[in-house]
Structure 1
Amino acid sequence: MSGFILTGITIIILRLIKKTPYLSFGWFWYLGTLIPVIGLVQVGQQGMADRYAYIPLIGIFIIIAWGLPDLLKHFHFKKPLLLFLVLIFFSVLMRLSWVQLHYWQNSEKLFNHAIEVTDKKYPSFVGIYNNLGVVLNKQLKFKEAMVHLKSAVKLQPTYSEAHNNLGNALSGLNRFREANIYYKEAIRLNPNYPEAHNNLANSLSKQLRLDEAIIYYKKAIQLKPEYYEAHFNFGVTLNKWNHSEQAIGYLEEAIRLNPNFTKARLSLGNILRQKYKFKTAIHHFQTIIKMNPNHAIAHNSLGSALAEQGNFEQAIVHFHTSITINPRYLEAHQNLGTIFLILGQPEQSIVYFKIAKEIAINEKLKQ
């Protein structure tokens, strides 16, 4: 039916080509630029998207821009009428834009709206549930995320990404055994899925199943050698199990792959500090602070390394900076209390130990 309508419109426009050339130009612009995005050729994950119409609609606007004055040329009050119509047109567009912007305030609102308006039989509907679940996971709303990700898995049981993301939601709730089931299913559906291998390894590590975790970390890195998060996670796990020398290698590789990866630098710096390799440790802490001067943990770690070298004056500066950034930073207060005690200033020491005790009590009450 739609084919007959398009053919009919095209025939009419061709007959009017000499009288109204803008009609044919606008119409063929519209058709010509629309063809690549009607689904004959895949240009993205989405079958339909607003952006696919941006270029084609130029043709329709050409028809309106030249056609409206042409239609009104016989009216005596064509200028006031044209101005009135333009004002009405733009008022409608402004209202529609305002409504649309409401849905685009954030990803959560956007995907919730998409669920409300999308046909449940539409192929990408399952992707909307998955995407909303990912957004909620990032916001640490794991219970809400789980609901939507379970819907995605139910609608499309072969959707490996949804299984992986559902595993992430369950991990966020410390339900690691259940999370393992979904990670393993994601891997069964897609054996070359490095993120699922990494996430399963993280879950196994938290269950103290190191031997199994190592297998999946190594597989994640084998599948994606540039996967710096997997190198980092493997390094942290190895260090936790007292394999610090091996851990250093993986953390160094994570930093080589992503020099701005502050978590890896912080972990590596602390391991090196414990091994009395203060110069290299200090370099990593200083690099973090250079990238982010308000990194309270890096200031505290740098202060600890300096104090262990006997540089108490500079250590105090960084501990003070740390608690200025985060006044409730328990460890930094404890470190200041300790350092003033070493320096023979018990009154100052007591002040910081009292604050540390208060913070510790408040934290315990919150649990």
Structure 2
Amino acid sequence: MKPASKPVRLVFAALLLVAGVFALYARTAQHAFVSIDVSEYLLDNQHVQHGLTWKDVGWAWTAKSASNWHPLTWMSHMLDVSLFGLSKADRSFGVGLFGFGEAGHNLVNAAWHALNAVLVFALFLRLTGYYGRSLFVAACFAFHPQHVESVAWIAERKDVLAAAFGLASLLAWERWARAGSRTGYGLSFVLLALGLCAKPMLVTWPFVLLLLDAWPFERAGRARGGWGRLVVEKLPFFGLSAASAALTWWAQSSGGAVQSLELIPLEWRLLNVVRSYGLYLWHTVWPVDLIVHYPHPGPTIALRDVALAAIVVGGIGFVAFLQRKRAPWLLVGWCFYLGTLVPVIGLVQVGGQALADRYSYLPLLGVFLVVAYAAAELAARAPLAKRLLAPVAVLLVLAQFAVAWEQVGKWKDSFTLGSEVVRVEPQSSWGWNLIGRQQLEAGLFDYAAQNLARSVEVQPGDPNAWHMYGKALFNTGELPGAENAFRRALALTPENPAYLTHLGEAVLTQGRVQESEPYLRRAIELDPSYPGARSNFGRWLLSTGDFDGAEREFRAAIELKPGFTPARNQLARLLMRRGDHAGALREIEIVLGVSPNEADLHRGRARCLMALGREAEAASELEAVVKQFPAWLPGQGDLVWLLASASDPRLRDVPRAVQVGERALATAQGERPPGLLDALALSYAQAGRFADAVAAAKAAGRRAEELGDPGQAERIAKRVAAYEAQRVDLSVPR
């Protein structure tokens, strides 16, 4: 170990690392949350949505949501919500202390990564005393493109959080190993416990401590009892790891994340283990075409790749063993790389990926250590290499930064990320799913359906792909196709509340009220805290005439998730039917705060304003919505009705009402909405053209009956009778 560097050099290195990390990741402040896992961790998690509260902190310690036990990660997300709000799009839970939304969450990830880079520098400097080598390892850690996934993906907060406590635990252990500090021992134990509460990746840490005993501490020869005593002193740490492993198995098994041996047999797993060790190394050396999901090859795994990986990995290991006395850093660094990947290498298969860049966040430290020491040894033997060492190291770090910069941009949103996945892996169901989800959220339903169809075509055994495809078809109005997709999803994963409630919704929307009931009821039984299930069951109750029950379910859904717009929308419609237009207006305005560009909401707001006698505001609302959506016939019909019936003579404009109505009908391309025909009939009657009014109103009534709305047809019939008597009756509700 070399003498410690001067404080000014240490501060300079730390500031350089922090500045570099924020230069690389600052633009994530402009990034949206990608849709992978963000619902479970943030947007739809009612415990996280409330921010940091004692009640939800208690939940965090017993939760197995997201198929993980990581209470500290949950609390970290809760704290972010308290500070920054949930997202800029959803203010229903408040804006937090600072109101930065997604930007705050993403920059906190970057801050943890910056802290980790400084901890890596401090740790390696304490372990080895070499300033230059330690700074190089820390810079590689800070800027390597493989680490972008752990930082730019908000659902991977657990990665950067666990790493911080894991690295700090090793720093504390150094004080125990070298100076016998009991405080260091206790602090190392506590920090490891906290790290395991963030992510179980640190279960290998007791073995890492044994590696450090071999080098650089070289304690085996000095400790009484040799390796036996060194193992005994770490038994409490092994106990922590065992407890964490048990809790993780409980959470992942309960969540259905662990893949069975029938689905991915042991021989496929073993072949993929060897291949993955090689691929992680290759991605370290040549970080090109990095994607968020590398599909498991299964039976199509190339034995050529496995053999090549075995030769490289085995060859390095063989050389490291032969050189263990002359170059112990090689064996320790290599064992660190191999060993810390064991929990995620795929022997216990979680999910359908072959490997993941995020899994290499800590293991690559072993590779960086080997590169730093190998380069230094070469420089010590060759004068030319010594002169080139520093500039080559700088160029290597800058190259990593440049590639990482490009990689960060790929995490801009789900569409960009998914497009990169399918560029590299055209047969990736994940990639097509990501693209389709983004389009679904943006209201591009036809495009979403096309891309999600590719997803199920590529991976027909993926229930989530069928579910998302069904949602896209439902929003395009292709209800039988949506129903079939939801049934396919449910066949693959029975008893899933989301699949059940969306199947029930599709069946209900097709008018099969009684058939939809079992699906909707079962969804609530499985998860009474699922807002979608409560809202859709409310729709079912509404269809049976149980207005009180429907209102109760809608309000329950809103209480669970105040920003859940479908429930507020349904509640607003129910309140309008009950004549509570003030209450309906409140709900609509809340929804408009989240979805300001939905024409139907503006139409509902205008109707409430009209019912409340605020005709001028209603007119402004309708004029704006018709201007924004000129082809939207329901809005045109409401504007015609208001122009023909306004009690304020300054707003009533019968000639314009006739003009707007006739023009809208002429451009309707054969579509004859009953609401528009009814409004046009009123404008004719107000203009004294009662024969035209009768004809238009009768056409409206027939169309309402064809569409299965006898209530509307009955109301129109009353107006027909008035027009036939050469009078206008505005007392009949619309």
Per the normalisation by structure 2, the TM-score is 0.41
> Letter of the aligned partner of 1:345 in structure 2?
R
Shift of 1:100: 4.9
Quick one: percent identity of the two aligned structures? 23
Q: Which residue of 1 aligns with 2:503?
A: 200
Shift of 1:227: 2.0
Q: Which residue of 2 aligns with 1:69?
A: 376
Q: For 1:237-279, what per-residue CA distance to the aligned partner results, in whole angstroms no more than 9, with x for missing partners?
A: 5545655444323222221221122332232123212212234
Task: Quote the Cα distance in structure 1 between the aligned partners of 2:481 and 2:584.
Answer: 38
2:627 to 320, 327, 345: 327
Shift of 1:342: 1.6
* 2:595 matches 1:277: no
Map 1:327-366; keep pairs closer than 5 Å. 327-329=627-629, 330=635, 333-334=639-640, 336-338=642-644, 341-345=646-650, 348=653, 350-351=655-656, 354-355=659-660, 358=663, 361-362=666-667, 364=669
* 2:353 matches 1:46: yes
Q: Which moved more, 1:180-189 or 1:211-220?
A: 180-189
> Letter of the aligned partner of 2:372 in structure 1?
A
Q: Which residue of 2 aligns with 1:259?
A: 562
Task: Quote the Cα distance in structure 2 between the aligned partners of 1:151 and 1:181.
Answer: 17
CA contact (8 A) 2:501 2:520 kept: yes
Q: Which residue of 1 aligns with 2:61?
A: none
Task: Quote the Cα distance in structure 1 between the aligned partners of 2:562 and 2:422.
Answer: 37
CA contact (8 A) 1:228 1:254 kept: yes
> Letter of the aligned partner of 1:333 in structure 2?
L
Task: Quote the Cα distance in structure 2 between the aligned partners of 1:171 and 1:24.
Answer: 57
Matched residue of 2:554: which SS? Answer: helix
Gaps of 5+ in 1: 119-124
Matched residue of 2:425: which SS? Answer: helix
When residues 344 and 145 of structure 1 are mapped into structure 2, their CA distance, relative to the original with a 3 A threshold, is same
* 2:418 matches 1:108: yes
Q: For 1:312-345, what per-residue CA distance to the aligned partner results, in whole angstroms no more than 9, with x for missing partners?
A: 3xx4235425644662352563465256x32123
CA contact (8 A) 1:111 1:132 kept: no
Map 1:201-220; keep pairs closer than 5 Å. 201-220=504-523
CA contact (8 A) 2:513 2:543 kept: no
Task: Quote the Cα distance in structure 2 between the aligned partners of 1:126 and 1:301.
Answer: 39
Gaps of 5+ in 2: 1-309, 630-634, 673-734
* 2:531 matches 1:228: yes
Matched residue of 1:31: which SS? Answer: helix
Q: Which residue of 1 aligns with 2:70?
A: none
Task: Quote the Cα distance in structure 2 between the aligned partners of 1:212 and 1:70.
Answer: 75
CA contact (8 A) 1:316 1:336 kept: no
Q: Which residue of 2 aligns with 1:146?
A: 453
CA contact (8 A) 1:273 1:281 kept: yes
Q: Which residue of 2 aligns with 1:317?
A: 617
Task: Quote the Cα distance in structure 1 between the aligned partners of 2:563 and 2:409.
Answer: 35
Shift of 1:164: 3.5
When residues 31 and 345 of structure 1 are mapped into structure 2, their CA distance, relative to the original with a 3 A threshold, is same
CA contact (8 A) 1:111 1:131 kept: no
Task: Quote the Cα distance in structure 1 between the aligned partners of 2:499 and 2:396.
Answer: 50
1:26 to 290, 315, 333: 333
Task: Quote the Cα distance in structure 2 between the aligned partners of 1:333 and 1:305.
Answer: 13
Task: Quote the Cα distance in structure 1 between the aligned partners of 2:574 and 2:509.
Answer: 20
Shift of 1:54: 1.9
> Letter of the aligned partner of 1:270 in structure 2?
R
Shift of 1:78: 5.0
Map 1:181-200; keep pairs closer than 5 Å. 181-200=484-503
Matched residue of 1:15: which SS? Answer: coil
Q: Which residue of 2 aligns with 1:12?
A: 322
Task: Quote the Cα distance in structure 1 between the aligned partners of 2:500 and 2:353.
Answer: 27
When residues 115 and 78 of structure 1 are mapped into structure 2, their CA distance, relative to the original with a 3 A threshold, is closer
Task: Quote the Cα distance in structure 1 between the aligned partners of 2:487 and 2:596.
Answer: 41
Map 1:51-62; keep pairs closer than 5 Å. 51-62=358-369
Q: Which residue of 2 aligns with 1:121?
A: none
Task: Quote the Cα distance in structure 2 between the aligned partners of 1:186 and 1:218.
Answer: 18
1:85 to 385, 388, 392: 392
Q: Which residue of 1 aligns with 2:718?
A: none
Shift of 1:25: 4.7
When residues 152 and 268 of structure 1 are mapped into structure 2, their CA distance, relative to the original with a 3 A threshold, is same
> Letter of the aligned partner of 1:205 in structure 2?
L
Task: Quote the Cα distance in structure 1 between the aligned partners of 2:430 and 2:419.
Answer: 15
Q: Which moved more, 1:283-292 or 1:191-200?
A: 283-292
When residues 304 and 325 of structure 1 are mapped into structure 2, their CA distance, relative to the original with a 3 A threshold, is closer
Shift of 1:186: 3.2
Task: Quote the Cα distance in structure 1 between the aligned partners of 2:367 and 2:550.
Answer: 61
Quick one: higher RCO (CA 8 Å, sep 6+), 1 or 2? 2
Matched residue of 1:276: which SS? Answer: coil
CA contact (8 A) 1:197 1:220 kept: yes
When residues 195 and 136 of structure 1 are mapped into structure 2, their CA distance, relative to the original with a 3 A threshold, is same
> Letter of the aligned partner of 1:337 in structure 2?
L
> Letter of the aligned partner of 2:379 in structure 1?
L
Shift of 1:109: 0.8
Task: Quote the Cα distance in structure 2 between the aligned partners of 1:22 and 1:204.
Answer: 64
Shift of 1:149: 0.8
Shift of 1:166: 4.5
CA contact (8 A) 1:197 1:216 kept: yes
Task: Quote the Cα distance in structure 2 between the aligned partners of 1:363 and 1:237.
Answer: 32
> Letter of the aligned partner of 2:639 in structure 1?
H
CA contact (8 A) 1:337 1:351 kept: yes
When residues 322 and 23 of structure 1 are mapped into structure 2, their CA distance, relative to the original with a 3 A threshold, is farther
Q: Which residue of 1 aligns with 2:121?
A: none
Shift of 1:181: 3.8
Equivalent pairs, count: 349
Task: Quote the Cα distance in structure 2 between the aligned partners of 1:79 and 1:321.
Answer: 74
Give RMSD over aligned pairs: 3.9
Task: Quote the Cα distance in structure 1 between the aligned partners of 2:419 and 2:660.
Answer: 41
Map 1:121-160; keep pairs closer than 5 Å. 139-140=444-445, 141=447, 142-153=449-460, 156=461, 159-160=462-463
CA contact (8 A) 1:150 1:166 kept: no
When residues 97 and 203 of structure 1 are mapped into structure 2, their CA distance, relative to the original with a 3 A threshold, is same
Task: Quote the Cα distance in structure 1 between the aligned partners of 2:556 and 2:496.
Answer: 21
When residues 88 and 293 of structure 1 are mapped into structure 2, their CA distance, relative to the original with a 3 A threshold, is closer
CA contact (8 A) 1:112 1:132 kept: no
1:36 to 298, 322, 343: 343
> Letter of the aligned partner of 2:649 in structure 1?
G
Matched residue of 1:344: which SS? Answer: coil
Matched residue of 1:342: which SS? Answer: coil
